Copies of this chain bind each other. A is one copy, B any other.
Amino acid sequence: MEVDEVVCLPRLSRVAVCGGTHGNELSGVYLVRELLKVKKGVMEKEEEQEEEEPLSVLKVLSNPRAMQQCRRYVDTDLNRCFTHATLNGLTSGTVPYEMIRSRELNAMLGPKGRSGAVDLVCDLHNTTANMGLCLIAYSDCDWICTFILKSPIKNHIPSILWESMASVTMEIGPQPHGVVRSNVYTAMKAGVQHMLDWVCFFNSGTLFEGESVDVFTMIKHIDYPRDSETRNITAAVHPHLQDRDFCPLHPEDPLFQTFSGETLRYKGNEPLYPFFINECAYYEKGIFFKFIIHLYICKHIS
C-alpha cells in the first residue's frame, strides 16, 4: 500500500476474552474465572476513564466439560471445530460435545458479520513448549490483529506468529497442562490487560503511525520418529533443541535423541526456526514441532 494512505476503522465495541478452550490449559481458566468475579475492576479501568461508549468485555469459559475433567477436550478438539463445515453442517446421530459447544459459542460471539457479533476474540492458551508469551494471528491482512501485534503488548512478547486462526490467540509457556504456575498466570493477566488497554486507546480515535514488527510464519511441521508397527514414538526431542523455541536450527544440528541413545540430525538445507517444541498435545496429532521461517515484516501501516 502507499506510504501516506490512511485507513479508517470502526471502533471495537465488543471484545471476548476466552479461557478453557482446552480444559487443561489452566492460566486462561483461572484468569477468566477471576475476571468474571471482578465486574468493574482492574482489568477494565481504562474503560472507566473513557467518556465514550464503554467497551463491552465478554468473558467466556469455552469448554466447561473439559475443564471439569481437566482434559484438553471431551470428544474432539474444540479448537478444530470452528470451521464452516462444522458450524453449519447437518447433524445426525450422536454429535460430539465440542461440535455442539462450537455452535453455541458461534451463536454467542458471532457469527461473523452479524450486528451483535463481537469485534475481537482473544483466546487464551498454554503450551508445554518454551514459547514465552506469544500472539498467534490470522494474517497480516487483518488490520486489528496487525495493530494489536504492534501495540505496547509487543514489549511483553518475544515472538509473534501468523497462523490460520479466526481470532488472536495468546499462547504462554512453558507450563504443564493441568498445572497453574503463578508467573505464567501473571504474565497472561498483564497481556490481557495490555490488549484491553490498546483497544481503549484505539477506540479513542488515535492515529497510528506505521512501524516494523518481527513476526514468524509457519511453513511446515514434522512428526516424531515412530515405530512402523506400533506407531509409538522412538525418540524424544534432543536435549540441545529442547526449550529453544524460535532459535535457529541449522542443517546437521541435533534434532532427536532416540530412546537407545542415538542422535538424529536436521537434514534440511536451510536454517529454520522451530516452535511448539515438545508441546504435549501434539503427540497425538503427529506433530513434533512446527517449523517457521523468520520474516522481518516492515510494512508502513497508518
Q: Which residues of A contact B (CB under 8 A)?
A: 30-31, 33-34, 37-38, 70-71, 128, 174-183, 185-186, 232-233, 236-239, 242, 257, 259-260, 278, 280-281, 283-284
Contact = CB atoms under 8 A, between A and B. Distances in A.
A183 B260 contact: no
A232 B284 contact: no
Report how many copies the assembly holds: 2
Given A177-B280, A179-B278, A185-B259, 15 more contacts: A30-B233, A70-B283, A128-B176, A128-B178, A175-B176, A176-B176, A176-B177, A176-B280, A178-B283, A181-B242, A181-B278, A182-B237, A182-B238, A183-B242, A186-B257
Given A70-B284, A259-B31, A260-B34, A239 B183 contact: yes
Contact of A259 (B30, B176, B283): B30
A115 to B, nearest CB: 35
Contacts of A280: 176-179
Contacts of A239: 182-183, 186
Nearest to A232: B33
Contact of A128 (B70, B179, B236, B260): B179
Nearest to A183: B239
20 contacts: A30-B233, A31-B259, A33-B259, A34-B259, A38-B260, A70-B284, A128-B176, A128-B178, A128-B179, A176-B176, A176-B179, A177-B178, A178-B280, A179-B278, A179-B283, A180-B233, A181-B278, A182-B236, A183-B239, A185-B259
